[in-house]
């Protein structure tokens, strides 16, 4: 089967192209694509632990730690020992990290808008349903600890 006829290849290629465009757009703000996913999670819920961030973003904890360190060096997050469980460290956005949300979220919406250009709202809803069904199909096929 040629790549062009492969569902997996088409999904991967689409994802990579969206990522590439997003990276181009956020790079001038000092944010890498790797940081982007963690910032999105923290904008949604500040103060998550490294383990929670790993589960939400879908990365291994060492990868998460590297991203946290890079974001900390860039002044986007601070790490703080959990007051209830001293073994845990919570990750909090700095003022700069919070401010970036207002600059980068409109860019992300524009990137998604560019990807969906030419589609009707109904077609986008159908695409989301199809992708959700594929995700559900695949989730049932893999081991639970990997399915996140």
Q: What is the three-class DSSP state of 85?
A: coil
Total count of residues recorded for the chain: 148
Torsion from C-alpha of 69, 16, 139, 41, nearest 10 degrees: 30
Coil, helix or strand at residue 48: strand
pLDDT at 88 (0 to 100): 87
Widest CA span in the chain: 56
What domains does the chain contain, in order, with CATH numbers?
Answer: 3-117 (1.10.10.10)
Pair of tokens at residue 138: 């695949």
User: Which ranges of the chain have pLDDT less than 50?
Assistant: 147
Q: What is the residue-averaged pLDDT of the chain?
A: 93
73 Cβ partners below 8 Å, 6+ apart?
none
pTM of the model: 0.84
- To which residue do tokens 């990579």 refer? 16
Q: What is the pLDDT of residues 102-121, one digit of tens each?
A: 999 999 999 999 999 999 99
Distance CA 76, CA 87 (A): 23
Provide the β-strand partners of residue 93.
77
């Amino acid at each position: 089967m040629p790549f062009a006829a492969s569902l997996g290849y088409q999904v991967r290629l689409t994802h990579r192209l969206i990522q590439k465009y997003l990276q181009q757009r956020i790079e001038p703000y000092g944010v890498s694509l790797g940081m982007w996913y963690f910032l999105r999670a923290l904008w949604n819920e500040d103060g998550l632990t490294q383990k929670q961030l790993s589960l939400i973003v879908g990365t291994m904890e060492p990868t998460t730690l590297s991203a946290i360190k890079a974001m900390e060096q860039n002044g986007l997050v601070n790490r703080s020992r959990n007051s209830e469980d001293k073994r845990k460290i919570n990750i909090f956005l700095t003022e700069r990290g919070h401010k970036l949300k207002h600059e980068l979220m409109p860019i992300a919406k524009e990137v998604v808008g560019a990807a969906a250009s030419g589609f009707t709202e109904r077609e986008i809803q159908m695409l989301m349903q199809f992708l959700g069904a594929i995700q559900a199909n695949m989730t049932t096929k893999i081991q639970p600890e990997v399915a996140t």
